[in-house]
């Protein structure tokens, strides 16, 4: 059966890459965008309008209020067995890379280190003037917008908003890991949007064994990839 095949590949793997999306946090109670949950529309505005560079320029306070709402939701969420299994894997293989599209910080909360964050992190701000990055663990924030510890200008969320570029080098580092992977996991992401779609393709082309873990597999990684249909929090600990 598929799970045994995956186990056999994982047992002999030296380099493992895991790419995660919103689905890995679904069992922690974090709403996915496409899964609804009230987070896709807030005060009548779609997330695509709220989370945009235009809104940062025109109404930074509104952007922060929306992020405060999301930070508040996520502050009460704990890592689930999928995050925990992935955190254990970092010491199981000679080479391990975790790449996430999530901004919730739950991988780090579960103990993962050196997480390659493609879309930034809700718990950090970035200066609109000097670009300094500051940790913002407290919720609610004392002031909106929070200010830069270096130059006192307004911080914006250190998150990639709709229409913005990825942090410099993030995709390149993820692609490098994908090129060298023996096993590449795609967990909880619909993998239709760049770069999520490209990374398993890159890995598959270089001969990696690609495994998708998703209750509704999207076909990531092409025809030779294996799909484990189910919840990440149930399947990953079994692997």
Cβ pair 141, 64 in contact under 8 A: yes
What are the structure tokens assigned to 126, written together?
């970035």
Q: Which helix (H) or strand (E) holds 226?
A: strand 226-228
Which residues 6+ apart lie within 8 Å of 120 measured at CB?
103, 157, 158, 159, 160, 167
Rule CB under 5 A: is residue 60 a binding residue for Zn ion?
Answer: no
Pairing of strands 155-159, 120-127: antiparallel
Rule CB under 5 A: is residue 127 a binding residue for Zn ion?
Answer: yes
Interface positions with ligand NAD (CB under 6 A):
21-23, 25-27, 30, 32-34, 101-104, 119, 188-190, 213-216, 218, 231-232
Identify which of residues 118 and 154 has a Cβ nearer to ligand NAD in the complex: 118
Among Zn ion, ligand NAD, none, the one that 32 touches (CB under a kind-dependent 5 to 8 A) is: ligand NAD
Tell me, yes or no, if 119 is annotated catalytic.
Answer: yes
Among ligand NAD, Zn ion, none, the one that 33 touches (CB under a kind-dependent 5 to 8 A) is: ligand NAD
CA distances from 152 to 66, 127, 134 (A): 22, 9, 12
Identify which of residues 81 and 125 has a Cβ nearer to Zn ion in the complex: 125
What are the structure tokens assigned to 48, written together?
């695509």
Going by the DSSP 8-state scheme, the letter that residue 167 receives in this structure is P
Catalytic residue among 119, 124, 156, 231: 119
Rule CB under 5 A: is residue 151 a binding residue for Zn ion?
Answer: yes
Among ligand NAD, Zn ion, none, the one that 34 touches (CB under a kind-dependent 5 to 8 A) is: ligand NAD
Positions marked catalytic: 119
């Amino acid at each position: 059966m598929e799970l045994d095949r995956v186990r056999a590949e994982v047992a002999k793997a030296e380099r493992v890459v895991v790419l995660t999306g919103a689905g890995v946090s679904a069992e922690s109670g974090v709403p996915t965008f496409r899964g609804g949950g009230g987070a896709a529309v807030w005060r009548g505005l779609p997330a695509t309008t709220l989370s945009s560079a235009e809104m940062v320029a025109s109404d930074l306070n509104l952007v922060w209020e929306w992020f405060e709402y999301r930070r508040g939701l996520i502050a009460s969420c704990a890592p689930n067995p999928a995050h925990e299994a992935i955190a254990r894997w970092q010491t199981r293989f000679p080479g391990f890379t975790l790449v996430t599209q999530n901004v919730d910080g739950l991988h780090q909360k579960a103990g993962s280190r050196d997480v390659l964050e493609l879309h930034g992190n809700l718990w950090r701000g970035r200066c609109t003037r000097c670009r300094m990055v500051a940790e913002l663990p407290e919720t609610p924030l004392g002031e909106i917008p929070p200010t830069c510890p270096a130059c006192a200008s307004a911080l914006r969320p250190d998150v990639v908003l709709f229409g913005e570029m990825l942090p410099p080098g993030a995709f390149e580092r993820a692609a490098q890991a994908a090129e060298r992977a023996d096993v590449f996991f795609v967990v909880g992401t619909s993998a239709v949007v760049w770069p999520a779609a490209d990374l398993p393709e890159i890995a598959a082309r270089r001969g990696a064994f690609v495994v998708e873990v998703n209750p509704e597999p999207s076909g990531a990684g092409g025809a030779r990839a294996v799909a484990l249909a189910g919840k990440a929090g149930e399947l990953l600990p079994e692997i």
